[in-house]
Structure 1
Amino acid sequence: MAVAGRLGDNGLMSGPVDFPVLHGRRVMLRPLETADFEVWQAVRRGNVGWLTSWEPRRTAGQPDPVEDRQAFAMRCGARRRECQLGTGWGFGVFVGEALVGEMN
């Protein structure tokens, strides 16, 4: 899929946006969706020791997307808005159908 919108005079994407899915020989990159929560949660928990040293600390009282499905859904929505604005591209990394990581 390709981004179908176009950059408007205000610097924002206008029109509908199809979110890209990129296929390689061994991996597929696609935006994460709320339906990916449980699998993403397991991958994230399995790598917590390494990942937390690279991530910003959450503000006190802020929901944890690792433990809260709604917070994860909001995180996915934020990545989609970044794509629409042309300011960021977040992808889940899949080998076959298995989620193995994430990049942005």
Structure 2
Amino acid sequence: MGYAKDAFDVYYNEQKVVGGSVVSFKVLTDGYAKDAFKVYFRGQTVADASIHSFQPLSQGYAKDSFNAYYSGKKIQGASVSSFQVIGTGIAKDSFYTYRFGQKI
């Protein structure tokens, strides 16, 4: 399944995406999507994500100019400038390594 839209609404797995803008809605990758106002992960709003700089990476990870995310949730303390995915469920920045979005 995944994202779909009709003339009036946006859906994820047949559930309406609350606030989704049909006109500007764009499916990205890895469960992420965005419209002119918000970023979404599997139909849920990604809190505080910047629509202008948001980019999905892989393995459920994503980042924008201010934060890194895993499965649509902010990774606290991650250094965005050096954040990168290095393996299955694994990412790192200049200071830490993360497994499924959790610092290890």
Structure number, greater radius of gyration:
1
Q: Which has the higher contact order (CA 8 A, sep 6+)?
A: 1
Which of the five TM-score ranges fits, normalised by the shorter chain?
A: under 0.3
Taking structure 1 as the reference length, what is the TM-score of the superposition? 0.22
Taking structure 2 as the reference length, what is the TM-score of the superposition? 0.22
Structure having the larger proportion of residues in helix = 1
Structure having the larger proportion of residues in strand = 2
